[in-house]
Amino acid sequence: MTPVEIGPHRLFLGDAYRIRPTLGWQDADVMDPPYAFNNAGGGAFRKTREGANRIVEEGLDRGFDRSIINPAWSGAVVVFCHQDQLGDLIPEIAEDDRGDADALIVADMFAHLRPRFHRATLCVWTKPNPSPMANKNYLADMEPYIHAWNRGWHPQGEHHDKHRWTHTGTVRTAAFDHPTVKPDALMNKILRNVAGETVCDPFMGTGSTGVAAIRAGKVFTGIEHNPAHFETAVRRITAAWEERCAA
């Protein structure tokens, strides 16, 4: 389990469920875990939806073990989820010590975190160019993510960084040969929002969280089980680190 080291950053090739517990405290865990959704149907657009088909091919539609989200390991967590999951996730209100009911928590996914995380909110990434497939539903033109935190690890950033939405286009699968790459504008905003200096992404993919973490001046640790995606992440994060060093 020897990591690839890029400056102060560490990248592990392996199983997140085995490696993450060994890493100890990280100020924030930022992750895009495998979604749980039905990829059936698609009609006339099925042959053209390269991203959705690749998600199924790589087994990224089967959900994930929620034990990877542990508030004892970090001060805050950011977790993406698929829109189809929201039908089974009942929003609850988490009140802080003042009784302010303004923190949304998705019950099914985060009920075991509610007694320990101080607050949480539901954020969305809205897309001007979603896949042209509705599958008897609305277009997938929004993607939710949840930011939960404990006291002292609340969202950071300037006034305009505090919006709960980000509007930016998607990244084509061909760009990094990966079906769920998050765009720079989205990840840069999220990494400006999370508090602290160290960030871990247990489902690193091709390294978008790591690139954004480096740009935000944070120290990144990533874990990825797919060797091809891992090599892409190494290249991208090396380039981001070299760019920062040269600045």
Q: Is the confidence at residue 160, as pLDDT, over 90?
A: no
Q: Which residues, other chains included, contact 50 with Cβ-Cβ below 8 Å and sequence gap of 6+?
A: 172, 173, 174, 179
Q: Is the confidence at residue 106, as pLDDT, over 80?
A: no
- Identify whether the C-beta of residue 164 lies closer than 8 Å to the C-beta of residue 122: yes
CATH number of the 4-246 domain: 3.40.50.150
14-29 pLDDT tens trace: 999 999 999 999 999 9
What is the spatial distance between Cα 222 and Cα 177, in angstroms, rounded to a whole number?
A: 18
Q: Worst-scoring range by mean pLDDT, 19-28, 42-51, 220-229?
A: 42-51
pLDDT at 138: 81
What is the spatial distance between Cα 61 and Cα 63, in angstroms, rounded to a whole number?
A: 6
Residue for token pair 């960084």:
161
Give domain limits for the chain: 4-246
Q: Is the confidence at residue 52, as pLDDT, over 70?
A: no
Q: Is the confidence at residue 244, as pLDDT, over 80?
A: yes
pLDDT at 53: 64
The proportion of the chain whose per-residue pLDDT surpasses 70, expressed as a percent, equals: 74
Q: Which residues, other chains included, contact 163 with Cβ-Cβ below 8 Å and sequence gap of 6+?
A: none
Q: Tell me the pLDDT of the chain averaged across its residues.
A: 82
- pLDDT band of residue 130 (cuts 50, 70, 90) is confident
Q: Which long-range contacts (CB under 8 A, 24 or more apart) does 157-162 make?
A: 157/189, 157/192, 157/193, 161/189, 161/192, 161/193, 162/193
